[in-house]
Amino acid sequence: MSAPTPHNAAKPGDIAKTVLMPGDPLRAKYVAETFLKNPVQFNSVRGMLGFTGEYEGTRVSVMGSGMGMPSIGIYSYELFAFYDVDNIIRIGTAGGIHKGLKLRDVVIASGASTNSSYFKQYGLPGYFAPIASFNLLRQSVQAAEENGVRYVVGNVLSSDYFYTDEATDTMAWAKLGVLAVEMESAALYMNAARLGKNGLGIFTISDLLTTGASTTPEERQTSFTAMMEIALKTACRVDSGNAGK
């Protein structure tokens, strides 16, 4: 297969080497309109909006992934394999399960545990441990520190379940130090590993499963700018050689 794909109308060259990937396509639109200079929309197939523009002189793209590992699995694979994207930085919300987390804390996911069977496609004689690209991780930590953002680095849970009959299943992961639960990063990390590319997840804590505290849907879509700015600065750091191209 080559570009365009059944899920992405972009032509070769329309997408930058680094793509920020929120789950919500409207968050992608918000990032493009708020942070990018001269953003151009390259995709609207199935409502999955994608844009390319410039941030501090560096060409950057942002595109929605949808919810869950099957969805980000398709979109990230196509970006890596058919659009020559090198880096995908997932920016999303997560539910905190670690007692030390507060609403709006930023979590940078060094690893992504999962209850998914996504890895079974590789026919491995065991279990694969999905981890982030170290370079993206290092650059994002430096960006967070420069911006004075409260952040935590650690493991997250990429869950196949949003609603479950066994609510305690998610909290059990906290016993092993897992910080938060989301639904996509493990597939992104596995696609990146399989294709020799780079993936990272950066999250804003939107809910606390420990206390029931939560933010509003509107806040989740538009107000988590600290996470977005960290991701954009990371894109500039790793992709500065493509500025202006």
Residues classed as catalytic: 207
How far apart CA 107 and CA 76 sit, in angstroms, is: 21
Q: Is 76 in contact with 149 (CB distance < 8 Å)?
A: no
CA atoms within 13 A on the CB side of 120: 5
**At 71, which helix (H) or strand (E)?**
helix 69-82
Please give the structure tokens belonging to residue 13: 């060259």
How far apart CA 192 and CA 188 sit, in angstroms, is: 6
Q: Is 169 in contact with 157 (CB distance < 8 Å)?
A: no
Q: Is 207 in contact with 96 (CB distance < 8 Å)?
A: yes
